[in-house]
Chain A
Amino acid sequence: MLGYICKRLLLTLPTLLLVAVAVFLIIRLIPGDPAVVLLGEGADAASIAGVRADLGLDRPLPVQFFSWFGHALRGDLGRSIVSGEPVGASILQHFGITAAVVLVAVTFATLIAAAAGLIAAWRRNTAIDLAVVGAATVVLAVPSFWLGLVLLLLFGLKLGWLPFVGYVPFSESAGQAVLFLVLPVVTLTITESGVLTRMMRASSIDVLQLDYVTHARAKGLSERAVLVRHVFPNAFAPTLTLVGLTLGHLLGGIAVIETVFTLPGLGRLMVDSVLARDYPVVQGCLLFTAVVYVVVNLLVDLCYPIFDPRVTAR
């Protein structure tokens, strides 16, 4: 088991390194003087010279990379052109909001998908299965931003039940903060449960046909025991991988939902900084989200043996 953990950890390091290189190079792809690019057109010559010295632009590229990387490892991702704030702190602040919405929504979506997918597979080709598959298919086709707009229209504007614009930080009022997050969380939950349900149903169907399920029934176990103890752990494993991938991506990418509900999350930060040509922030966001993705998948990989002990043997 320990070997498995170490192996997984070591395998992520090259990916992280490559990610850092990629992020570094993307900015260098922009035509023009990188220092001017980083500071913006209107910067004065002294600042430009200062940044050039900082970045060591006269030094060879690999050296520049390591200097930037070194700073990044210490948490120093530079400063925003637009606001002058340190990029790192800004990212963390925005990330907190994104993480709150994503973690809650994915948890709910996983619970729904696990139950719905398992039951649909168990009662395959009956009305309940068709209903679940139908719902999942429709949900897959509905864009999250449109769903958000519709929910906002319905519950926010027309019915006035929930606030929908902006955000109140937890530190000010927990109750209010939660209210503001209900609609975004509901939107994301619905959107993500579609693909997770289909995955769970497909793997449950596969597992239900295997001999050990028939063997469990042949022992005299009740259907409930068979489903919970034998089918679920084995069917959930592939869905868990998908949950990991989804979580990893969403933690960086719910820009559209944040836009609809005007939440100051990480996605929104990225979009705004792209529109404003605020390259240090763009760079910082990219690096941060990629690292989060790799870490989340690592954690999921470490949980996998709970559901499928065979992976540690490989």
Chain B
Amino acid sequence: MIASVAAPLLRFDGVRIETSGRAGSEARTLLEGLSFDVAAGEFVAVVGESGSGKTLAARSILNLLPAGVRQTAGRIELQGRDLSQLSAPEMRQVRGAQIGMVFQEPMVSLNPAMTLERQLAEGMQLHRNLPSDEIRRQSIAMLERVRISNPLRCLKSYPHEFSGGMRQRIMLASVLLLKPKLLIADEPTTALDTLSQREVLELMVELAHDNGAAVLLITHDLGLVARYTERAIVLEKGRLMESGFTDEILANPQNPYTQRLVASLPRGRADLVPPPDSAPTLLQVRQACIEYPGRPGIWRAGVPTQVVHGVSLDVRAGEIVAVVGASGSGKSTLGRAVLGLKPLAAGTISFDGIELAAMTAAQRKQFRRDAQLVFQDPYSSLDPRRRVRDIVGATLRHVDDLDAAERRARVQSILEEVGLSSFGDRFPHQMSGGQRQRVAIARAVVSRPRLVVADEPVSALDVTIQQQVLTLLQTLQAQYGFACLFITHDLAVVRQIATRVVVMSGGIVVEEGPVASVFAAPAHKYTRELLEATPSLEVAVLPRC
């Protein structure tokens, strides 16, 4: 697997990418002096967080940079040919036929207004002169290869009729039909759930091997890098930090940034202690059923869909329980119901022994103080028109025994604890995603709740920021002793933060128990599949190729 000394398939040589700096603003350098090689048939990862320039590097290969961004120095060579010197028609020959690209968002990467048959055939019609029934035959064969059942129906359908994972597979089919020598995959599975992610990547690796194609995998997920690639380069803020064989980089990172990245991966902790047996049960969920009302037709009322079905779980005071599942498993809905934000169709939820549905107004008010929620999306959970102080202090408005001065003091002290002491006057749009999430946590913790429900609080954050926020949450929990219901899809995070885990799928609980035992010996098939599909550095790596 050593890169041959002969001309590599792809070579970056001192590439610099800048914004063009029109209308008074200066040109900013987005990528500086990037040099690396990809040999034929090799699998290389480009690793970085947001702002690292990895997507720009990928797009510059095919000269698909966004408006206002240009490559100003360096060469990008495909088998010795400088791609930046090609004329537009020559570049169009290269695109698709020599180099194929798969994109991140399956929802917008296929034209919603065109049938899949036409979209699959487009590239073929352009680059190969084949009769249409031959194109059709090959399209069907490729769709079968990516395990789409009923390829004939698929051809006649539109993209919106398929799920995200299926669309990515169709996209793979479309790109690999042209048998390119290099496949660029720009975060191809970030928007998919863990099981689909695995399916799509395994398929991609298989197909690339079949065709002898090299793969350039752009990602932020070190687990995927470990599992699927041979060599990797690490970018931070537009600069190359480290490059080399994947195993070596991950086991023994030389560069401080790479070291930080590897250290930020969620890992199990030996010091996670479950609460003592004497701790009282704080939250009791019994046979909870939650429905979404159906869409009413013209003649009949809507048929409701069951989102959560017969779920029971307990949370004791001071305990951190993780609820794990894919999107659509009902875990977020359950989280909302626990706080009384979604009504139950059947079953009961009790807090401190009192059923939510039976609470008096005074009890409800107390409950609102005692149970808080941290939301997933840092961009949508803060009112854009309010300052941070007002956002954090909102819960305290309903607390009677604090006067205005005490409230202000509390808000300031919690802001200090989350490391945002001077941010009180700012607006959300002036802060980064990680900072906003810290505000969200401050807001949840300021009223000294006894239960915090955290709904995927770190899923939308970069890896290094993720670790910061997780650590913050754990510190606050240790200090204030609140119980936590931590909802997530990421098993690695569960291992770091929780003592007990509840696994959900399709609205029911499939397994639950202490984290260590469930992960070591999963009883249910779904849990096993999830564990196998979760790439991480600690799980034994399955043999590749």
A and B touching (Cβ–Cβ under 8 A): yes
Q: Is the CB of B92 within 8 A of A222?
A: yes
Q: Is the CB of A7 within 8 A of B298?
A: yes
Distance between B156 CB and nearest chain A CB, rounded to angstroms = 11
By a CB distance below 8 angstroms, the chain B residues around A229 are 111, 114, 122
Distance between A311 CB and nearest chain B CB, rounded to angstroms = 10
Whole-angstrom CA separation of A234 from B109 in the bound complex: 13
Q: Is the CB of A233 within 8 A of B161?
A: no
Q: Is the CB of B95 within 8 A of A220?
A: yes
Interface presence of B96 (CB below 8 A)? yes
Interface presence of B381 (CB below 8 A)? no
Q: Is the CB of A218 within 8 A of B101?
A: yes
Q: Is the CB of B298 within 8 A of A211?
A: no
Q: Is the CB of A310 within 8 A of B158?
A: yes
Chain A residue total in the interface (Cβ 8 A) = 28
Q: Is the CB of B96 within 8 A of A307?
A: no
Report A260-314 residues with CB < 8 Å from chain B CB: 307-310, 313
Q: Is the CB of A212 within 8 A of B111?
A: yes
Q: Is the CB of A220 within 8 A of B298?
A: no
Q: Mark A1-45, 1 if CB is under 8 A from B, else 0.
A: 000001100100000000000000000000000000000000000
**Which of A10, A221, A237, A308 is within 8 Å of B122, CB to CB?**
A221
Q: Is the CB of B110 within 8 A of A219?
A: no
Give the residue among B62, B94, B96, B113 with the most A Cβ atoms within 10 A: B113
Interface presence of B359 (CB below 8 A)? no
Distance between A3 CB and nearest chain B CB, rounded to angstroms = 9
Q: Is the CB of B95 within 8 A of A218?
A: yes
Chain A, Cβ-Cβ closest to B161: A313
**Which of A211, A220, A221 is within 8 Å of B109, CB to CB?**
A211
Known A212-B108, A233-B113; judge A310-B298 contact (CB<8 A).
no
Known A10-B298, A211-B108, A212-B109; judge A220-B103 contact (CB<8 A).
no
Can you list 9 residue pairs at the A/B interface with Cβ under 8 Å?
A212-B109, A214-B59, A215-B101, A216-B122, A217-B64, A218-B101, A219-B96, A230-B111, A234-B111
Known A219-B95, A219-B123, A220-B95; judge A233-B114 contact (CB<8 A).
yes
Interface presence of A71 (CB below 8 A)? no
**Which of A214, A217, A307 is within 8 Å of B113, CB to CB?**
A307
By a CB distance below 8 angstroms, the chain A residues around B59 are 214
**Which of A124, A209, A216, A217 is within 8 Å of B111, CB to CB?**
A216
Q: Is the CB of A215 within 8 A of B95?
A: no
Report B347-386 residues with CB < 8 Å from chain A CB: none
**Which of B64, B93, B96, B113 is within 8 Å of A234, CB to CB?**
B113
Interface presence of B32 (CB below 8 A)? no
Interface presence of A127 (CB below 8 A)? no
Whole-angstrom CA separation of A264 from B395 in the bound complex: 66
Partner-A contacts on B (CB < 8 A): 59, 62, 64, 66-67, 92-97, 100-101, 103-105, 108-114, 122-123, 126-127, 158, 160-161, 171, 178, 298
Chain A, Cβ-Cβ closest to B105: A211
Interface presence of A73 (CB below 8 A)? no
Interface presence of A46 (CB below 8 A)? no
By a CB distance below 8 angstroms, the chain B residues around A308 are 112-113
Q: Mostly helix, strand, loop or mixed at chain A's interface?
A: helix
Whole-angstrom CA separation of A309 from B158 in the bound complex: 7
By a CB distance below 8 angstroms, the chain A residues around B114 are 229-230, 233
Q: Mark A111-129, 1 if CB is under 8 A from B, else 0.
A: 0000000000000110000
Interface presence of A159 (CB below 8 A)? no
Whole-angstrom CA separation of A217 from B67 in the bound complex: 14
Whole-angstrom CA separation of A230 from B178 in the bound complex: 20
Interface presence of A141 (CB below 8 A)? no
Chain A, Cβ-Cβ closest to B67: A124
By a CB distance below 8 angstroms, the chain A residues around B126 are 219-221
By a CB distance below 8 angstroms, the chain B residues around A309 are 112-113, 158, 160
Known A220-B94, A309-B158; judge A215-B109 contact (CB<8 A).
yes
Distance between B475 CB and nearest chain A CB, rounded to angstroms = 39
**Which of B66, B92, B96, B160 is within 8 Å of A313, CB to CB?**
B160
Report A205-253 residues with CB < 8 Å from chain B CB: 209-212, 214-222, 229-230, 233-234, 237
Whole-angstrom CA separation of A229 from B66 in the bound complex: 20
Whole-angstrom CA separation of A93 from B66 in the bound complex: 55
In the A-B complex, the 3 residue pairs with the closest CB atoms: A220-B95, A220-B96, A219-B96
By a CB distance below 8 angstroms, the chain A residues around B127 are 220
Known A7-B298, A308-B113; judge A215-B103 contact (CB<8 A).
yes
**Which of A212, A222, A313 is within 8 Å of B110, CB to CB?**
A212
Whole-angstrom CA separation of A237 from B111 in the bound complex: 13
By a CB distance below 8 angstroms, the chain B residues around A222 are 92
By a CB distance below 8 angstroms, the chain B residues around A215 are 101, 103, 109-110, 171
Distance between A13 CB and nearest chain B CB, rounded to angstroms = 11
**Which of A211, A220, A310, A313 is within 8 Å of B97, CB to CB?**
A220
Q: Mark A122-151, 1 if CB is under 8 A from B, else 0.
A: 001100000000000000000000000000
Whole-angstrom CA separation of A165 from B146 in the bound complex: 69
Whole-angstrom CA separation of A230 from B123 in the bound complex: 13
By a CB distance below 8 angstroms, the chain A residues around B111 are 212, 216, 229-230, 233-234
Q: Is the CB of B67 within 8 A of A211?
A: no
Whole-angstrom CA separation of A188 from B13 in the bound complex: 58
Q: Is the CB of A218 within 8 A of B298?
A: no
By a CB distance below 8 angstroms, the chain B residues around A216 are 111, 122
Q: Is the CB of A218 within 8 A of B122?
A: no
Q: Is the CB of B158 within 8 A of A220?
A: no
Give the residue among A216, A220, A222, A229 with the most B Cβ atoms within 10 A: A220
Q: Is the CB of A217 within 8 A of B95?
A: yes
Q: Is the CB of B64 within 8 A of A210?
A: no
Whole-angstrom CA separation of A229 from B123 in the bound complex: 13
By a CB distance below 8 angstroms, the chain A residues around B66 are 209
Distance between A241 CB and nearest chain B CB, rounded to angstroms = 15
Given A215-B171, A218-B64, A308-B112: 4 more A-B contacts, CB < 8 Å = A212-B109, A214-B64, A219-B122, A230-B114
By a CB distance below 8 angstroms, the chain A residues around B160 are 309-310, 313
By a CB distance below 8 angstroms, the chain A residues around B100 are 218
Distance between B468 CB and nearest chain A CB, rounded to angstroms = 30
By a CB distance below 8 angstroms, the chain B residues around A210 are 108
Whole-angstrom CA separation of A222 from B123 in the bound complex: 11
By a CB distance below 8 angstroms, the chain A residues around B122 are 216, 219, 221, 229
Whole-angstrom CA separation of A192 from B474 in the bound complex: 61
Whole-angstrom CA separation of A145 from B220 in the bound complex: 60
Whole-angstrom CA separation of A193 from B100 in the bound complex: 40
